[in-house]
Structure 1
Amino acid sequence: MNSCAKLFILIAIAGVCVILYLATLEEHVTADLNCGNRPERPSTMMPFDYDDYGGGRFVGGTPIDPSIWPWQVSIMHRPTAADPFQHHCGGAIISQDWILTAAVCVHAPQHRLSSNLIVKAGTTDANHNDANTQELQIERIVPHKRFNPITLRYNIALLKLKPPLVFNTFVDGICIPDNSNVEEHQYGICHITGYAGPNANTSILQEAEVKKIGNPRCNMPTWWNYKVARDMFCMSHPSGMGGPDGCEMNLGGPVSCFMPVNNRYYVYGVRVYTKDCGVPRRPNIYLKVSNHFYWIQREVGDSAPPSLHQFTVALWPFVCFLLSSLAKMVI
């Protein structure tokens, strides 16, 4: 075989490997296309009320229809079996069986008993049910084993539902970002969502557009004074001078960010800390979900079947090795 033929074979093998690798990247971003759909995108945003500050609720938001954010849920708690359920924390649907929230929401002894917790989905009002409301019990609570209530590191938890949710226009799941290709693509617009707490006048689902504030700025002594770890970030009004915030009753709620490359929403963060909501230089602190992608996949198990890109990732190095071995035999 002459040198030109050998060179052609080597170039062909390299081309196949490059194509497989690029297909892996593309599939990595566009996998799980049944998640992150908003039937009513874009929503109609009203001007934020930056003066509506208050304890224990969502401030600076706009009341919305539940189908706009179908993955938002209310995690409700009752002190005893004789008490009514009240809104306790926010959460996000990531599959029909699982809710993503903050570990701090299920850390206190009174919040660890699954029989005193329920999840309410598909509703605009956490205190009232309608025809679209789904109210489910919790079979299992899975906080991250490394959660530290002092530093708030690993402040993430999963709730296993029973029975599973029924997905429809008003109830659906959001996509989970990984720490590689999805993070390489720039997110578009981001929103926070949540309910007002029981101490407020309403318990209506609200939304607000927010921007990420860089950690160096958020960790300044006059801001959060180095409380924001590397796997956390701040979000609020870009000026940092107050603005829309999810308050204490909405810990565990999601930051939903639009990914233009595949027209899907991803749960970029989970609200893990807030204090005196709406106060200048004290924006909400969120846990970066992509840093815990593999923990979520491992805990969820059968509810998160392997995506096509996972098979592609495992397959393309083997194919390239096989082709190169055959080429050596021929050449």
Structure 2
Amino acid sequence: MKVFKLGSLALAAALLAAPISAQDLVAPKVEPENASPFSFAESKKKAERSAKMAEDGSGSKVIGGELAANGAWPWQVGLMIAGQPVSPNAHFCGGSLVLDQWVLTAAHCIHMQDRDGSYFDLHPSQLTILVGTNKIAPGQGDNVPVAGIFRYPNYNPDGWDGDVALIKLARRPNANYRTIKVPDQDFGDVLDQAGVPTVVTGWGLVNGGKHPDRMYQAEIQMLSRDMCNESMMKARAQVAARPFVEAASIFRLNDSEMEGAWAELVRRAPMPLTENMICSGSFEGGKTSCQGDSGGPLVVPLDDGSYIQAGIVSWGLSNAATKSCAEDAIFSAYTKVSKFLPWLEQTISQN
């Protein structure tokens, strides 16, 4: 782990003088209905925010994305709130068909916190899976009921490590679709190399904050996990510097003590991206996933013209002012699918 070798006086001068990033790198305290994609959509706040953003022109998008062609990405599915009309406001997450009746998605899409602080998984009756369409609208694709939900048992919502889940459909979809392959551990490591081209797809927010009824895509690339971690740690250090220096002054730490305390604080801080995550984006920024894309696939094109799913949309940087994704972010974090292949195979075979 890198320790920022700044003496306390240099720390105070350099970090306190630096502008605080617009990207909110410290997870805020949020109400339970805002804490998960399902709760946010179910509470009607998704529709309210969409209307507000449309009025004031704020918002975000499948960053840097473009409209996907009809029939493209036929493994992409949408997680929908059961009992609501099929519409963008009923959609809360993405997913991918890895078998005819099995959907791969993110654990945070189906696992959420109640008001008393306890966590629970959605019941299969609370959602449906929209299959075989690029457009979210009545009569499009097949809205399939769910038979079972299976969350990776070691998922940690504090940092999103192990952010993977499986959903079993009650039946095979009656729509045009294809399944997507996933890599084993060795090939997953081959794909997890800086510069490898990737594509992220979904129905996440678009310009003006509207929730689109059509699927978007963005072509990005794998980035170095170490580079993404270093970028995050430096930004977090910048945010943490002011309260740290104030606390050190209150406790009357001298220059040497302040330097030692800061070095120990940084040493103990966990890396934002674990080995179970991959980093993908673009060096110029402005191309990444956004709200509503969670759980969807990050795919890699292969030489034979096919695709393989390397990642699952997990988390990204947010903008403190809009509470939406940061439009200038250079990357988002994705669950590394190959790390969880044994669990995927065992879960499917036993259910």
Matched, 1:238 2:248: no
Equivalent in 259, 264, 285 of residue 306 of structure 2: 264
Give the TM-score normalised by structure 2. Answer: 0.62
Evaluate the alpha carbon distance shift between residue 166 and residue 289 of structure 1 in structure 2; reply closer, same or farther with a 3 A threshold: same
Q: Distance in 2 between matches of 1:69 and 1:246?
A: 16
Describe the SS at the equivalent of 1:154: coil
Alignment of 1:253-292 (within 5 A): 253-260=296-303, 262-276=304-318, 277-281=325-329, 283-292=331-340
State the alpha-carbon separation in 2 of the partners of residues 103 and 201 from structure 1. Answer: 22
- Runs of 4+ in structure 1 over 6 Å off: none
| Pair 1:155–1:201, CA change in 2 (3 A) | closer
Residue 115 of structure 1: how far off its partner (Å): 1.1
Q: CA deviation at 1:201?
A: 5.3
Q: Is the 8 A contact 1:223 1:281 kept in 2?
A: no
**185-194 or 269-278: bigger deviation:** 185-194
Query: In the alignment, which residue of structure 2 is the partner of 1:119?
Result: 129
User: Quick one: structure 1 residues 141 and 76, their matched pair in 2 at CA, closer, same or farther if it must change by over 3 Å?
Assistant: same
CA contact (8 A) 1:179 1:291 kept: yes
In structure 2, do the counterparts of structure 1 residues 65 and 209 end up closer, same or farther at CA, with 3 Å as the change threshold? same
Distance 1:149 1:238, change over 3 A: same
Which residue, 210, 220, 225 being the options, matches 1:215? 225
Query: SS of 1:99's equivalent?
Result: strand
Question: Which residue number in structure 1 is paired with residue 153 of structure 2?
Answer: 145
* 1:235–1:263 Cα change, 3 Å: same
Unaligned runs of 5+ in 2: 1-56, 115-119, 238-270, 319-324
Distance change (3 Å), C-alpha of 1:284 and 1:223: farther
1:91 aligns with 2:95: yes
**Aligned partner of residue 204 in structure 1, secondary structure:** coil
Q: CA deviation at 1:278?
A: 4.0
| 8 Å contact kept, 1:177–1:183 | no
CA RMSD of aligned residues (A): 2.7
Once the two structures are TM-superposed, the CA of residue 244 in structure 1 deviates from its matched residue by 2.0
Q: Once the 2 structures are TM-superposed, how far is the Cα of residue 53 of structure 1 from its aligned partner?
A: 7.4
User: How high is the TM-score relative to the length of structure 1?
Assistant: 0.66
Number of positions where the alignment pairs a residue of Structure 1 with one of Structure 2: 241
| Cα 1:126–1:200 shift into 2, 3 Å | same
Q: Residues of 1 paired with 2:305 and 2:171: CA distance?
A: 30
Q: Check the 8 A contact 1:117/1:137 in 2, yes or no.
A: yes
Residue 48 of structure 1 corresponds to which residue in structure 2?
Answer: none
- Per the TM alignment, residue 135 of structure 1 is displaced from its structure 2 partner at its CA by 1.3
Query: Contact 1:75 / 1:117 at 8 angstroms: preserved in 2?
Result: yes
Counterpart of 1:203 in structure 2 is: 213
Within the alignment, does 1:62 sit opposite 2:66 as a pair?
Answer: yes
Residues 120, 230 of structure 1: CA spacing in aligned structure 2 closer, same or farther, 3 A cutoff? same
The alpha-carbon deviation at position 282 of structure 1 amounts to 5.7
- The 3-state SS of whatever aligns with 1:248 is coil
Residues 125 and 203 in structure 1, CA contact (< 8 A), matched pair in contact too? yes
Q: Where in structure 1 are there 5+ consecutive unaligned residues?
A: 1-51, 304-331
Listed one character per residue, the Cα deviations across residues 149-202 of structure 1 (whole Å, up to 9, x for unaligned) are 00211110000001112574xx11000100124644779531000013596153
Deviates more, 1:275-284 or 1:64-73: 275-284
Alignment correspondent of 2:169: 161
- Provide the C-alpha distance between the structure 1 equivalents of 2:310 and 2:99, rounded to a whole number of angstroms: 16
